[in-house]
Amino acid sequence: MYQFDSLFAAFASLGIANGLLFGGYLLRQARSVPQDSNRYLGWFIFLLSLRFAITTVHYFYRSPLADWADWGLVLNLCLGPSFVVYVLSVFKTPPARAFFRLHLIPALVLLGLSLLGRRVFSPAPFFEPFNDGWFLINQLTLLHWILYLVYGYRLFLSELAKKRAEGIDTRKVQQWMFGLLFFLSVLILGYSFNNAKLLCVIFCPLFYTIIVYAILAFFIKNSALLQKGYGLEGNKVSVLKSEKIPQIRENLQKLLAEKGVFLNPELTLDKLAQQLDISPHALSHYINTYEGSNFSDWLNRHRVEYACYLLLDPQCTHLKIAAVAFDSGFNTLSVFNVAFKKVMGVTPSAFRRMGDLGTMKK
């Protein structure tokens, strides 16, 4: 290698080595729930480092092994699922092993075809490493990675919104995940530009080295993430001033008792917050913290209580169950039945029969 290439090789190899060591460190952490996300991150960084190690070996050392090039494509198919699993683990909902196995099927199929094609059959020149056919497969594996990245991003935004609604401080994890998504997008674009012959492939490992050190700097600055995980459950912040809580409680009770707002089938968190003159976030935080449930369960509870009144009212015996459901604010009978049984432990029909028996005994 030329001296300039030697410097590039050393720089790229340094980042890959640090990535492998950091990934291995995260994998060796104690198996405790707060650190699950770090361990899944370790798997992802370890696989990502292996991918760039293959690129570096091929570019600088001109490895004659065609298998190495194929294994790089197999790793491309592993990176997407491992990233999604990591995103889920950040929010304490890692999927079952069956999920990971299912999403690794494309990688296993490509690995099997590679071993069969290289060792049993002689592949056509079109599919030799770095020919047009091979680059086509490479681009398809990158597309696979991009789709999982987009899915992981949407999943992250959805889970983030739920945590915010619970009054949890998500700023640190949001900063970290957006940064990680940006870095991964840069790496994928680098490989895509290389396939389009717009960028030399060696820039990808060089970018990765910079990214590895950026990740290390983030974790050094936020060392608590390595020791305690992301701790989303412990980061609840009050979005309400204590002096406002009694006023919110009083106004909410007035709306429930005097106006029966819960009977409106179109009632939403935003609409109720507007009537109370507070933000939806603040109302959600109040209901979660001081009512002990989320908005949907809280609203259904009040509707079910009103439905119980109608079912036991002698003047409403002519009302069918469906009419009671609609009069109580439910849009469908099926939703009413599920909500009623969840709150009362019995179906509306059984509840009405129990009331009739009580009346007869009296």
Same domain, yes or no, for 186 and 245?
no
Cα–Cα distance, 47 to 75 (Å, whole number) = 7
Same domain, yes or no, for 193 and 268?
no
Same domain, yes or no, for 334 and 281?
no
How large a percentage of the chain has pLDDT more than 90? 22
Same domain, yes or no, for 203 and 78?
yes
Contacts by 286-290, CB closer than 8 A, 24 or more apart: 286/240, 286/245, 286/248, 286/249, 286/252, 288/165, 288/166, 288/167, 289/167, 290/245, 290/249
Same domain, yes or no, for 74 and 168?
yes
Contacts by 243-246, CB closer than 8 A, 24 or more apart: 244/278, 245/286, 245/290
Query: Tens digit of pLDDT for each residue in 302-361?
Result: 999 999 999 988 888 889 999 999 999 999 999 999 999 999 999 999 998 887 544 433
State in Å, rounded, how far the first CA of the chain is from the last one. Answer: 99
Looking at the domain assignment, is residue 300 inside a domain? Answer: no
What is the torsion angle, in degrees rounded to the nearest 10, for the CA atoms of residue 334, residue 335, residue 341 and residue 346? -30
pLDDT of residue 118: 64
Query: Tens digit of pLDDT for each residue in 163-218?
Result: 776 666 677 788 888 888 998 888 888 888 877 777 776 777 888 888 888 888 88
Same domain, yes or no, for 95 and 240?
no
Cα–Cα distance, 5 to 67 (Å, whole number) = 24
Extract the tokens encoding 135. Answer: 């680059």
Same domain, yes or no, for 47 and 77?
yes
Q: How many domains does the chain have?
A: 3
Average pLDDT over residues 95-120: 78
Task: DSSP letter for 168, please.
Answer: B
Looking at the domain assignment, is residue 259 inside a domain? Answer: yes
pLDDT of residue 361: 39
Cα–Cα distance, 342 to 297 (Å, whole number) = 9
Q: Which residues pair with 236 in a beta bridge?
A: 168
Same domain, yes or no, for 159 and 287?
no
Higher pLDDT, 222 or 262: 262
CATH of the domain at 184: 1.20.1070.10
Same domain, yes or no, for 29 and 96?
yes
pTM for the model stands at 0.61
Same domain, yes or no, for 215 and 165?
yes
- Pair 94, 155: CB distance under 8 Å: no
- What is the span of the domain harbouring residue 281? 235-292
Burial class from Cβ neighbours inside 10 Å (0-12, 13-18, 19+) for residue 312 reads: middle
Query: Tens digit of pLDDT for each residue in 27-74?
Result: 876 555 456 788 888 889 999 999 888 888 777 666 555 567 778 889
Looking at the domain assignment, is residue 164 inside a domain? Answer: yes
Looking at the domain assignment, is residue 317 inside a domain? Answer: yes
Place 131 in a pLDDT band, splitting at 50, 70 and 90: low
Ranking 28-32, 144-148, 150-154, 194-198 by mean pLDDT, the lowest is 28-32
Same domain, yes or no, for 278 and 345?
no
Extract the tokens encoding 141. Answer: 């594996």
Query: Tens digit of pLDDT for each residue in 223-256?
Result: 655 555 454 544 554 555 666 788 888 888 888 8
Same domain, yes or no, for 15 and 144?
yes
Task: DSSP letter for 95, please.
Answer: P
